[in-house]
Amino acid sequence: APENIFPRPSAGSGRVSGLSTPRKRARLYSFPWVPVAMVGPAPGGGSPLENANPLIYRRSGERPVTAREEDDELPDSIDDREIFDLIRSINDPEHPLTLEELNVVEQVRVKVNDAESTVVVEFTPTIPHCSMATLIGLSIKVKLIRSLPERFKVDVHITPGTHASEHAVNKQLADKERVAAALENSHLLEVVNQCLSARS
């Protein structure tokens, strides 16, 4: 079973600081992340890596910004690539690599319907028994909630058939109250922020 990082929500749990940041376009605004050390085993004596030799994939190129996107007077819909650009640089909690470099996230597994205000992201753990799957999914979800306008409904789940406990993990990630309760834990929120912080 995956590690359950989601506590049961306490009575009166509502929006917490980790999820209450105004959700604005990442291209125009950035959340003030505090750079901290990477998550993972301590060098020279930490716990062994679950996947010691992951495959590393080539990063895709940066998307050129069009004149239409730079014109603030024109409506600018959110598309699959823009969502992918938000999550591609999230740090893996076990390796000093991004989720894109490990092929955990791919643009083809991002679906956006701007008119209906929905975003669906599938992510693929590097191994079927990855205990970090819930943390990775939570990091993706928090990144999108913090970055997108509030009208968007965000659905983050494991790519079908790629994890032994995908249904349990997906159920946790879909439970808004449990996500909010989890982020009331200062230690867990710090770990999530480490995954979201920019590497120097």
CA pair distance 97, 101, nearest whole angstrom: 6
pTM for this entry = 0.73
Predicted confidence at residue 64, as pLDDT, reads: 65
In degrees rounded to 5, what are phi and psi of residue 110? -115, 125
Q: Is residue 116 part of a domain?
A: yes
Segment (H or E) for 123: strand 118-123
- For residue 54, give the nearest of 111, 140, 125, 152 by alpha carbon: 125
Identify the domain containing residue 145 by its residue range: 74-196
Alpha helices in 54-165 (DSSP H): 67-70, 80-87, 133-147
DSSP string covering 137-164: HHHHHHHHHHHS-TT-EEEEEEPTTS-T
Q: In this structure, is residue 104 part of a structural domain?
A: yes
Residue 30 counted as domain residue: no
Residues of the chain with pLDDT under 70: 1-48, 61-71, 74-75, 200
- pLDDT score, position 56: 80
pLDDT at 70: 67
Q: Is residue 125 part of a domain?
A: yes
Q: What is the CATH number of the domain that holds 111?
A: 3.30.300.130
Q: Provide the number of structural domains found in the chain.
A: 1
Task: Select from 197, 134, 127, 199 the least CA-distant residue to 162.
Answer: 127
- Whether residue 129 contacts residue 51, with contact meaning beta carbons closer than 8 Å, is answered with no
Q: Which residues contact 11 (CB under 8 A, 6 or more apart)?
A: none
Helices H / strands E in the chain, number of each: 6, 3
Phi, psi (degrees; rounded to nearest 5) at 123? -125, 150
Query: What are the tokens at 145?
Result: 């909630």
In a domain, 91, yes or no: yes
- Residue holding tokens 């979800």? 141
pLDDT digits (tens, 9 = 90+) for 62-98: 666 666 666 677 667 899 999 999 999 999 999 999 9
16 in a domain, yes or no? no
**Cβ contacts of residue 198 below 8 Å, gap of 6+?**
33, 35, 89
Task: Kindly state whether residue 48 falls inside one of the protein's structural domains.
Answer: no
Task: Take residue 42 and report the two structure tokens written for it.
Answer: 């301590």
Q: To 5 degrees, how large is the angle CA 17–CA 23–CA 26?
A: 120
Q: Is residue 8 part of a domain?
A: no
CA atoms of 20 and 17, how far apart (whole Å): 5
The SS3 assignment for 120 reads strand
pLDDT given at position 13:
46
